[in-house]
């Protein structure tokens, strides 16, 4: 099968298109013919040095997929060959990611593809959408009538978070650079904040009459300390990146801080599918690129700029 192999850790130019052996599903696993693979910032981090995740080159990375089941392993009874599925595979110690034509995955962490989405759209959902779902629904537990501040609302995770918070009945304040303000409006943000010319914390205080927001979600990093004064007492803050800076003001305000790292499971995908089929959640796909253009996708990931998700089309045309 055709796959994109990383022979050693380093820059995007290292990716190689190779023919590699087709994997065989073991007990409880399925073999999926991948139609499309999403890309994520964590892909770039693993490409640079994936040793922290137990990876050793040569390795196939990639952690989002939508495709069709080709074969089921023993013990799998809830899926069959021909079923369309989407998923995000395990990250740690997984040498066979989704930058390939075929992939083996545990059946327990896949779900049926949302019927209203193409494979390219579905491949943009699992990792970024699941991370946003965990942050907004499970950890921050955003409720109707609350106000939420989302840093990086036009990015892969942020674009899902804005929509999920709106679907939960919250008032959403979201930040981006000037080029993505209109994107935030289209996603449903009630107040858009240009972080280059405005102080998000000051805007949040102004929009809440000085009381602060009930919840903050930082998808960018380094925004937790600055967000504390804009969060009302007993509020909640979630981040998908490490916290740096002085957070001593956290304690006297009785705030709760959540670190969010996605665990793989089917239920979350099914929960998101319900929202997708009700037209309350859609992936923001910036661009679909051929699999052999993966280096270009990673150069854009490395830049830290862009909106939504970059998706690789894997199926041969």
Tell me the domain boundaries of the chain: 2-124+284-313, 128-259
Residue 254: beta bridge partners?
none
- The separation between CA 93 and the C-alpha centre of its own chain, rounded to angstroms, equals 20
Q: Which two tokens stand for residue 33?
A: 């013919």
Does pLDDT of 200 surpass 70?
A: yes
Confidence bin at 316 (pLDDT 50/70/90): confident
> For residues 68 and 60, is the Cβ–Cβ distance under 8 A?
no
Per DSSP, 164 falls in state H
Burial class (CB in 10 A: 0-12, 13-18, 19+), 194: middle
Helix, coil or strand: residue 47: helix
* Mean pLDDT of the 162-179 span: 97
d(CA 308, CA 158): 8
> For residues 129 and 160, is the Cβ–Cβ distance under 8 A?
yes
User: What does the pLDDT look like over 278-297, one tens digit per residue?
Assistant: 999 999 999 999 999 999 99
Residue where the block lists tokens 């504390």: 228
> For residues 43 and 63, is the Cβ–Cβ distance under 8 A?
yes
Nearest to 37 by CA among 76, 89, 109: 89
**Mean confidence (pLDDT) of the chain:** 96
Cα angle 37, 70, 19; round to 5: 60
User: What does the pLDDT look like over 52-92, one tens digit per residue?
Assistant: 999 999 999 999 999 999 999 999 999 999 999 999 999 99
Residues 6+ away with beta carbon under 8 Å from 285: 120, 121, 124, 308, 309, 311
- The per-residue pLDDT for 303 is 86
d(CA 17, CA 2): 7
Q: What are phi and psi of 70, to 5 degrees?
A: -100, -35
- The per-residue pLDDT for 203 is 98
> For residues 38 and 124, is the Cβ–Cβ distance under 8 A?
yes
* Mean pLDDT of the 114-130 span: 98
Fold of 128-259: Rossmann fold (3.40.50)
Q: Which two tokens stand for residue 176?
A: 């981006």
d(CA 92, CA 42): 12
d(CA 141, CA 133): 10
Residue 60: beta bridge partners?
96
Give CATH superfamily name and number for 2-124+284-313: Medium-chain alcohol dehydrogenases, catalytic domain (3.90.180.10)
User: What does the pLDDT look like over 145-166, one tens digit per residue?
Assistant: 999 999 999 999 999 999 999 9
Cα angle 285, 124, 20; round to 5: 120
Q: What is the pTM of this model?
A: 0.96
Q: What are phi and psi of 71, to 5 degrees?
A: -155, 145
258: left (phi over 0), alpha (psi -120 to 50) or beta: beta
Quickly list H helices, the chain: 41-49, 119-122, 126-133, 156-167, 181-187, 200-207, 224-227, 266-277, 294-303
- The per-residue pLDDT for 221 is 87
> For residues 251 and 231, is the Cβ–Cβ distance under 8 A?
no
User: What does the pLDDT look like over 226-267, one tens digit per residue?
Assistant: 999 999 999 999 999 888 889 999 999 999 999 999 999 999
Q: Do you know the residue count of the chain?
A: 317
d(CA 280, CA 276): 6
- The separation between CA 138 and the C-alpha centre of its own chain, rounded to angstroms, equals 15
- The per-residue pLDDT for 317 is 57
């Amino acid at each position: 099968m055709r796959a994109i192999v990383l022979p050693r850790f380093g820059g995007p130019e290292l990716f190689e298109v190779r023919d590699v052996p087709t994997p065989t599903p073991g007990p409880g696993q399925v073999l999926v013919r991948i139609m499309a693979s999403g890309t994520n910032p964590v892909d770039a981090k693993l490409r640079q040095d994936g040793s922290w995740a137990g990876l050793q080159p040569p390795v196939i990375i990639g952690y989002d997929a939508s495709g069709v089941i080709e074969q089921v392993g023993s013990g799998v009874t809830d899926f069959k060959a021909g079923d369309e599925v989407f998923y995000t595979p395990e990250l740690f110690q997984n040498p066979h990611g989704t930058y390939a034509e075929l992939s083996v995955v545990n059946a327990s962490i896949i779900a049926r593809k949302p019927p209203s989405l193409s494979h390219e759209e579905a491949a943009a959902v699992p990792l970024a959408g699941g991370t946003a779902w965990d942050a907004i629904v499970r950890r921050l537990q955003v409720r109707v009538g609350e106000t939420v501040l989302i840093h990086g609302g036009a990015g892969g995770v942020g674009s899902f978070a804005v929509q999920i918070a709106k679907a939960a009945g919250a008032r959403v304040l979201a930040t981006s650079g000037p080029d993505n303000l209109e994107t935030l409006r289209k996603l449903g943000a009630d107040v858009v904040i240009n972080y280059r010319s405005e102080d998000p914390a000051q805007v949040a205080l102004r929009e809440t009459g000085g009381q602060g927001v009930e919840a903050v979600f930082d998808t960018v990093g380094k925004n937790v300390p600055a967000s504390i004064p804009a969060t009302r007492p007993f509020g909640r803050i979630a981040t998908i990146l490490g916290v740096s800076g002085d957070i001593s003001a956290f304690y006297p305000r009785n705030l709760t801080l959540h670190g969010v790292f996605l665990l793989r499971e089917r239920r979350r995908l099914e929960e998101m599918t319900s929202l997708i089929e009700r037209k309350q959640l859609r992936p923001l796909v910036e661009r679909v690129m051929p699999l052999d253009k993966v280096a270009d996708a990673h150069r854009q990931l490395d830049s830290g700029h862009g909106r939504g998700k970059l998706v690789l089309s894997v199926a041969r045309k």
